[in-house]
Amino acid sequence: MKKLNLSKNAKHDLVTYGIVVVAYLVMEILMKAGLVSSLLKGLLVPLCIYAIMAVSLNLTVGILGELSLGHAGFMCVGAFASAFFSMCMKESAMPGGLRFLLALIIGALAAGIFGILIGIPVLRLRGDYLAIVTLAFGEIIKNLVNVLYIGRDVDGFHFSMKDSLSLNLGEGGKVIVNGAQGITGTPNDSNFTIGIILLLITLVIILNFIHSRTGRAVMAIRDNRIAAESVGINITKYKLMAFAISAALAGIAGVLYAHNLATLTALPKNFGYNMSIMILVYVVLGGIGSTRGSMIAAVILTLLPELLRGLNDYRMLIYSIVLIAMMLFNWSPKAREFREKYSWKRIMKNGKKEEV
């Protein structure tokens, strides 16, 4: 009995990991064979980034059941914290691999800490307060980074919120964070393989979390807060934990982002409100609460506009039709019935029965 129940989750998770690994191998083979356009090649790391973002947001929206509209804000924190660290360490003797590993930890920690800071006051409240506060947070962080100037010379670090001149850097001093121009010259440490590894790590963390005692408590809170309290679950603690993990993983996506491009700037396009909504769209279309679904939706919806580039004028039209179709396929009762009737599991089962 026990085996049946455990292995069911485990099997489901293994398939999810399998999909990622297979997708990776297929892409690698295609690249070796020279069948991948340079456009697609440039998309590989962003694909991993968006998949990590979607999977981590799903933890907040699907598992914890709270709406967050500022997920890109945590990504922004992770990106700038790690890029700043990498820039400081660039000239030191530290090997690149170790530097990137430390950057990852710093990015995740920084984003996680911001998650806790926002979560402590907001997650105590019931209702949609988290959505409002995270929305504001995302915008504030983006704008804050745009007026932040940090430089370093022999005396140490200099901060300013005005312009790079008011940093008063001494001889040989360098501006690291240059306001709206962001951070220039971040080491290009991330690549497709690293992206896939980080995606796998994210998946392992999230799926293991969901299927542990803590994850159960979080889902119990989502399903019925009052009942969860009545069986002795500490509501605030578990909400905060899930939210902080979600934020920290968004920070990891940010690190990947920062180390994929030579210039890191906080624009509305990459860290703004639109981005947060995009990620939310992935989660909703992937089926709220489904980790695998979020990941697949992120990949499809990132690839689609690029693949349709040739169609130019009709690109966004087709994109929106696909959005609607996916929504219907995932959520309408009739489509759900259809999927249950013709699901792979069912077909396999029937096949087996016939054999017997």
* Interface positions with other proteins (CB under 8 A): 1-2, 4-6, 8, 204-205, 208-209, 211-217, 219-220, 222-224, 226-234, 241, 289
Q: Which is nearer to other proteins, 195 or 215 (CB)?
A: 215
- Alpha carbon 233 to chain centroid distance? 28
- State in angstroms the smallest separation of the CB of 254 from other proteins: 21
Euclidean distance between CA atoms 52 and 247, whole angstroms: 11
Q: Which is nearer to other proteins, 116 or 278 (CB)?
A: 116
- State in angstroms the smallest separation of the CB of 209 from other proteins: 5
Q: Cα–Cα–Cα angle for 294, 300, 305, nearest 5°? A: 130
Q: Which is nearer to other proteins, 166 or 208 (CB)?
A: 208
- State in angstroms the smallest separation of the CB of 109 from other proteins: 15
- State in angstroms the smallest separation of the CB of 219 from other proteins: 6
Are 111 and 81 in contact by the 8 Å Cβ rule? The answer is yes
- State in angstroms the smallest separation of the CB of 99 from other proteins: 25
- State in angstroms the smallest separation of the CB of 251 from other proteins: 16
Q: Which is nearer to other proteins, 55 or 176 (CB)?
A: 55
Q: Which is nearer to other proteins, 234 or 274 (CB)?
A: 234
Are 247 and 25 in contact by the 8 Å Cβ rule? The answer is no
274 contacts: CB under 8 Å, gap ≥ 6: 268
- State in angstroms the smallest separation of the CB of 7 from other proteins: 12
- State in angstroms the smallest separation of the CB of 174 from other proteins: 39
Nearest to 50 by CA among 316, 261, 263, 270: 270
Q: Which is nearer to other proteins, 212 or 350 (CB)?
A: 212
- Tell me the C-alpha to C-alpha distance, in Å, between residue 239 and each of 2, 66, 71, 116, 235: 28, 9, 16, 10, 6
Euclidean distance between CA atoms 1 and 303, whole angstroms: 42
- State in angstroms the smallest separation of the CB of 248 from other proteins: 12
Q: Which is nearer to other proteins, 166 or 224 (CB)?
A: 224
- The secondary element (H helix, E strand) that includes residue 158 is strand 156-160
Are 112 and 125 in contact by the 8 Å Cβ rule? The answer is no
Dihedral of the CA atoms 340, 341, 344, 345 (nearest 10)? 70
Q: Which is nearer to other proteins, 88 or 205 (CB)?
A: 205
Euclidean distance between CA atoms 51 and 253, whole angstroms: 9
SS3 content of the chain, % helix, strand, coil (to 5): 75, 5, 20
Please give the order of strands across the beta sheet that includes 149-153: 156-160, 149-153, 174-178
Q: Which is nearer to other proteins, 226 or 356 (CB)?
A: 226
